[in-house]
Amino acid sequence: MVTSVADNASRTKLTRILYVEDEPDIQTVARLALEALGGFTVEVCSSGDMALQRISDFQPQLILLDVMMPGMDGPGTLKRLRKNPLHVRTPVIFMTAKMQPSDVAYYLALGAVDVISKPFNPMTLSSQIQLIWERCHD
């Protein structure tokens, strides 16, 4: 089977991730895992407000968003992001220790494409995100 240029263009490669997490140790582990193992360019923000300020300059293809943060939490941040026409369709993956079925259903209802449990495995985080990305772009 021969694939056309148009077919290849429809498969956008994930390269830019905005990671919103308030815990410095978790930021460090995730950033290392995503950059070193996944080859992604990662912009880390320690709050929802910071993410909202930096998102337009960074132009992420995907957002990893912690649920529980001081100030504006993850769901509040997602609601604000969706008001920006440039980021209405940017895929968001929540990362949280709150993985009860009702919690996950709530995050998905808000518009997240998936939820990753914390603590996460740094060795598999990049491949897990890549699989979610591919599922969103099939």
CATH of the domain at 32: 3.40.50.2300
In a domain, 8, yes or no: no
In a domain, 24, yes or no: yes
What's the token pair of residue 44? 């880390």
pLDDT beyond 80 at 10? no
In a domain, 3, yes or no: no
In a domain, 1, yes or no: no
From first CA to last CA, the distance across the chain in angstroms is 18
In a domain, 107, yes or no: yes
Residue with tokens 């490669």: 13
Burial class (CB within 10 angstroms; exposed 0-12, middle 13-18, buried 19+) of 42: buried
Q: What domain range is 38 assigned to?
A: 14-136
In a domain, 6, yes or no: no
pLDDT digits (tens, 9 = 90+) for 96-118: 998 899 999 999 999 999 999 99
Three-state DSSP class for 18?
Answer: strand
Domain total of the chain: 1
In a domain, 36, yes or no: yes
CA distance 109 to 122: 27
pLDDT beyond 80 at 90? yes
pLDDT attached to residue 138: 74
Q: Name every residue whose Cβ is closer than 8 Å to that of residue 102 and which is 6 or more positions away in sequence.
A: none
pLDDT digits (tens, 9 = 90+) for 15-55: 999 999 999 999 999 999 999 999 999 999 999 999 999 99
